[in-house]
Amino acid sequence: MEYFNLHTHQFTNQENILELVNQYPTDFDSTIPFYSIGIHPWYIDENRIEEDLKIIEQKLQTENCLAIGECGLDKRIEMPLDLQISVFEKQLALAEKFKKPVVIHCVAAYQEVIETKKRLKVTVPMIIHGFSKNAQIASQLITAGFYLSFGKYLIKNPDLKTVFQSVPNDRFFLETDTMEETIQQVYKLASVYKQLNIKELNKLISSNYKSVFKS
């Protein structure tokens, strides 16, 4: 693995990239080699929560499923927060049961996500994907034991540079999510911000990958 893409919705099938492709229980592609699977807060369907959780549980027991997610909390949607928290907690329980990391979608609910981690005493790694907030929130998350993944906003928002630079080197990942830019482009910018060459950055993220995904 030369590059690791922590979160993407687009499988590009390149030999030098390990892509953690986001999958959903209701729309699963068995041809994708490595993936995460979860109930996104946007797509919670009360009529099929238990069915979706059973599918997730089955997939978590396979080697190709590297993580659960994306799952989490989003205060900017109409989905009731109590329902979101309930579904999130059930997925965290599965993550603990099968010792899989969690890729988290979080919008305007960082304190709730931190509180949930503490209350449930979650021991598996939890990664906030698509991080775009300030250094204070980043610090709170790092202190609470989270990892942060950067991609779209790192490229589109120059103000995120100092936040990214403040994140410890053993606590971050890089991703493309849904954007057109490649993971190589994200690595290139990250290497400049972190004042590392690409080989050093590759080695660093490979080490983080091994630490989190036990591979």
Domain ranges, ordered by start, for the chain: 3-213
Segment 126-178, tens digit of pLDDT:
999 999 999 999 999 999 999 999 999 999 999 999 999 999 999 999 999 99
Site of tokens 């238990």: 50
Give yes or no for a contact between 145 and 126, defined as CB atoms under 8 angstroms apart. yes
- Token pair in block for residue 65: 């499923």
Q: What is the CATH number of domain 3-213?
A: 3.20.20.140
Which residues belong to the annotated binding site for a divalent metal cation? 70, 105, 129, 177
Q: What is the pTM of this model?
A: 0.97
List of residues 6+ apart from 8 with CB closer than 8 A = 19, 20, 21, 22, 175, 176, 177, 178, 183
Segment 14-64, tens digit of pLDDT:
999 999 999 999 999 999 999 999 999 999 999 999 999 999 999 999 999
Segment 99-132, tens digit of pLDDT:
999 999 999 999 999 999 999 999 999 999 999 9
Phi and psi angles of residue 202, each rounded to the nearest 5 degrees, phi first: -55, -45
Which residues belong to the annotated binding site? 70, 105, 129, 177
Helices (H), 22-80: 49-60
Helices (H), the chain: 49-60, 81-98, 110-120, 135-143, 152-156, 161-166, 183-194, 198-213
